Structures are given as structure tokens and as C-alpha cells.
């Protein structure tokens, strides 16, 4: 093959008429495969056709194309001569015999408008890398975690219980060993009791002594006010009704006149006087209390025994006589109707008579103030009699005597 032939002027139709676009002429050279593009994680790009897309180029690209061939030298068309190749490019010198043949150059696309080869077009893949998203973390198994925590807690409790049980077992074993070994005190003294043979049994040996009489029970306060033989405390109007007024549960009633007689009938009205004397009344003590236009007289009849006082109360007729004086006018006299009561405790029987201080009005169930005054006077008298028995029982307990002695 001759060097310098085969230019564009030798091939048929290599010089088409000016202005007529023709497709690029195929080149008989071998085109090596393009080098592999760097991996980007994207699908491979479509192979480049190796040619400039058909269609007119923009005017600024066509006017100043960097791939335009230089003008031919003077005196020739660039298609003849032995030193120029196709398009006026110089051919490389021939390789010496035996030298390795260089690899053919990559084909250069032909520009369809200027008649000169166009620069090769290479396809470039984008260099952006896509990082795949991490896989979502699996959801934890909550029931399995709860079961595992419960098992761990049970193991811990079992371990603590086992330790306590082991400690108690060891302590019990140690205690048993100490007791069974018969270890005594550190000072070596013998603390055991003597045997029955060594105890004294002679007639001069001491023996425990116990009192054959049990201690007496505490005295009953009522015993001291149930009989004149036991009731030895002083008795008068001042001891039964002390002070200038009667006070009970925050209610206060001023005290009027007081009186004491040994002829019990002289201080009673109607048939009550004969009943008192018939049952052995020894004295009658009276006191009057007043409040708000009403007044009440309390009479305490004293008998030698409790049985006599109970009999007099059961036979009661009429009532005790009212006691005016000390600022209290006459009341419950001249036939006016008054409220009367009777009761007893121990050897004392006590009576009340209550009404209005004008000595004119009769008492009815609607007169609550008269009823309240009479009830408070009777209750106060009962409490004073009970207190008399308690005082004498306390004194007897302090001296070691009883009501019978």
C-alpha cells in the first residue's frame, strides 16, 4: 500500500458539490471499545453513536469551530503530495520492519457541513453517587422483653429468699450445737440448781409462808349509806346542800331557805307526815331553790335502814311541805296544784314539790320550767347522797377498815 494516497480527492464522491450535505463516510479503521465508566450505582448509559447529531449548528459554533481544518498550503489543494494524508494532515513515518504495529486511532466523525472531520464525541456518565437508605430497624418484641424481665426478677427473689433461708438454717444449727454442748458461762461458775437430794429437808429448814386470808375487796359506797350503823359521817343541811346555789350541767339555781327537824311529820303535808313517822324517820332536811318565777323544795327523810326508806316511799301520799324564806315567797299552799315527786337511795328517801311563786297558778304539763327545776333538784340530791357513800368508802379503804367493821 502506497503512503500518501487514499485522500479525499481519490475516493469517488469524496468531493461532493458545495452546499450539498452528505452523510459521513465510513472509515475502514478498527474502533477499540471505550473504557468502562466508573460505577455510580445507576443503570449504564446508552452507547454514543460517535457522530454529531444531524441538523445545522448554531452560527457562532460554525463560524469559530475549533475543529475546522487549517487552510491548505499555497500551490496545492491538500489532496496531492506524499507527506499529507487525508484532509492535508501529515502522515506518520513508516514503522521499521519487525516493530509492533500501533493500535489504530479512534475514528473521527466527519463534519457534514465543512468537509472536515469533527472532534470525537464521548459519552460521559454523571458522577453523582446515590447512597441507598438504611433498612428500617425491626420493632422490638415487647412481650418477650417483659417475660425476660419477669424471669430475672423471680430469679433475684429466689436468690434473696434462698440466702435468708440459708442464714436462718446456719443460725439454728449453731444454736443447737451450743445448747447441746452444755457450754456454761465464761467465768466457770456453776449455775445449775442443786439436786433434790442436796436440798434441806430437816425440821429446821425454812418453808414458804402464805397468808390464809385473802385481801378484802374494796368497800362498796352504798354499804355506808344503807344503814345508820355504817353511815357515821356528819349529816346536816349544809353537808347535803352546800353553797349558795345548785349547779348541775351548767344550769344554776339560787338557794333559798334550808331547814332540819327531827319530827318528820312537821315538815310534811297531808298523810305523808304519818307515813314518815310510822316507818321510823329520824330527821327531815329541806332546802328551796328558785328560778324565773318558779320554786321547788327538796325534803330528805332519813331512816335507820334501807328497808324502812323503801317502805316509806312505797306508801307515800301527798307530799313534803314547801319552804318559803330567804327571798322566796310562799308557794304551793292554799290549795294550788303543784308537781310532786318521791324516790329513795340507801336509807334516804327524798321528795320534791314545785310550783309558781305567786301561789295562784296551777302547774300543768305545759309548764316545762317547773318540771325542769324539780327534775334538776331531785337529781342533784341523789348525786349528793351517792357522794356521801363514796367519801366514807374511800376513807375506810385508806385506813384498812370495812363497812362491817
Q: Which residues contact 107 (CB under 8 A, 6 or more apart)?
A: 27, 29, 31, 50, 120
Q: How many CA atoms lie within 13 A of 15 on its CB side?
A: 10
CA-based end-to-end distance of the chain: 174
Q: How would you write the pLDDT of the chain (405 residues) with one tens digit per residue?
A: 444 444 444 444 444 444 444 445 444 444 555 555 555 545 555 444 445 555 555 555 444 444 444 555 544 444 444 444 444 555 656 656 665 665 555 555 555 554 555 555 554 545 555 566 666 667 777 778 888 888 888 888 888 877 878 888 888 887 777 766 655 555 555 556 666 556 566 666 666 666 667 666 778 999 999 999 999 999 999 999 999 999 999 999 999 999 999 999 999 999 999 999 999 999 999 999 999 999 999 999 999 999 999 999 999 999 999 999 999 999 999 889 999 999 999 999 999 999 999 999 999 999 999 999 999 999 999 999 999 999 999 988 888 765 555
Prediction pTM value: 0.48
Q: Report how far residue 35's alpha carbon sits from residue 402's, in angstroms, rounded to the nearest whole number.
A: 138
Three-class secondary structure of residue 266 per DSSP: helix
Question: What DSSP designation does 23 have?
Answer: P
Structure-block grid coordinates of residue 38: 466508573
b/e burial code for range 331-361 (CB count within 10 A of at least 16 → b):
bbeeebebbbbbbbbbbbbbbbbbbbbebeb
In this structure, the strands spanning 245-248 and 348-356 are: unpaired
DSSP letters for 361-389: SPP-TT-HHHHHHHHHHHHHHHHHHHHHH
Amino acid at each position: 500500500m502506497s503512503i500518501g494516497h487514499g485522500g479525499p480527492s481519490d475516493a469517488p464522491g469524496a468531493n461532493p458539490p458545495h452546499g450539498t450535505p452528505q452523510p459521513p463516510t465510513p472509515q475502514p479503521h478498527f474502533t477499540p471499545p471505550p473504557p468502562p465508566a466508573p460505577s455510580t450505582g445507576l443503570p449504564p448509559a446508552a452507547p454514543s453513536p460517535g457522530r454529531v447529531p444531524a441538523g445545522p449548528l448554531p452560527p457562532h459554533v460554525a463560524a469559530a469551530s475549533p475543529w475546522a481544518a487549517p487552510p491548505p498550503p499555497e500551490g496545492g489543494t491538500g489532496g496531492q503530495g506524499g507527506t499529507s494524508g487525508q484532509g492535508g494532515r501529515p502522515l506518520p513515518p513508516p514503522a521499521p520492519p519487525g516493530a509492533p504495529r500501533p493500535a489504530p486511532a479512534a475514528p473521527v466523525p466527519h463534519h457534514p457541513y465543512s468537509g472536515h472531520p469533527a472532534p470525537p464525541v464521548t459519552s460521559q456518565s454523571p458522577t453523582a453517587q446515590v447512597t441507598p437508605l438504611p433498612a428500617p430497624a425491626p420493632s422490638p418484641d415487647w412481650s418477650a422483653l417483659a417475660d425476660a424481665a419477669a424471669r430475672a426478677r423471680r430469679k433475684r427473689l429466689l436468690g434473696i429468699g434462698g440466702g435468708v433461708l440459708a442464714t436462718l438454717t446456719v443460725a439454728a444449727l449453731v444454736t443447737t450445737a451450743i445448747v447441746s454442748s452444755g457450754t456454761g458461762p465464761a467465768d466457770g461458775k456453776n449455775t445449775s440448781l442443786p439436786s433434790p437430794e442436796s436440798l434441806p429437808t430437816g425440821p429446821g429448814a425454812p418453808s414458804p409462808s402464805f397468808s390464809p386470808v385473802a385481801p378484802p375487796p374494796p368497800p362498796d359506797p352504798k354499804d355506808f349509806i344503807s344503814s345508820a350503823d355504817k353511815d357515821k359521817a356528819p349529816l346536816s343541811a349544809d353537808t347535803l346542800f352546800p353553797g349558795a346555789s345548785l349547779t348541775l350541767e351548767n344550769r344554776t339555781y339560787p338557794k333559798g331557805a334550808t331547814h332540819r327537824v327531827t319530827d318528820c311529820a312537821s315538815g310534811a303535808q297531808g298523810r305523808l307526815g304519818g307515813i314518815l313517822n310510822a316507818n321510823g324517820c329520824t330527821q327531815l332536811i329541806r332546802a328551796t331553790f328558785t328560778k324565773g318565777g318558779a320554786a321547788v323544795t327538796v325534803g330528805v327523810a332519813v331512816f335507820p335502814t334501807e328497808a324502812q326508806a323503801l317502805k316509806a316511799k312505797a306508801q307515800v301520799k301527798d307530799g313534803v311541805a314547801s319552804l318559803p324564806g330567804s327571798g322566796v315567797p310562799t308557794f304551793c299552799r292554799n290549795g294550788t296544784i303543784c308537781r310532786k315527786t318521791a324516790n329513795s337511795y340507801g336509807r334516804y328517801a327524798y321528795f320534791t314539790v314545785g310550783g309558781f311563786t305567786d301561789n295562784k297558778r296551777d302547774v300543768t304539763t305545759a309548764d316545762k320550767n317547773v318540771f325542769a327545776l324539780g327534775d334538776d333538784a331531785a337529781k342533784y340530791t341523789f348525786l349528793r347522797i351517792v357522794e356521801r357513800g363514796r367519801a366514807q368508802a374511800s376513807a375506810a379503804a385508806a385506813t384498812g377498815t370495812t363497812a362491817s367493821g
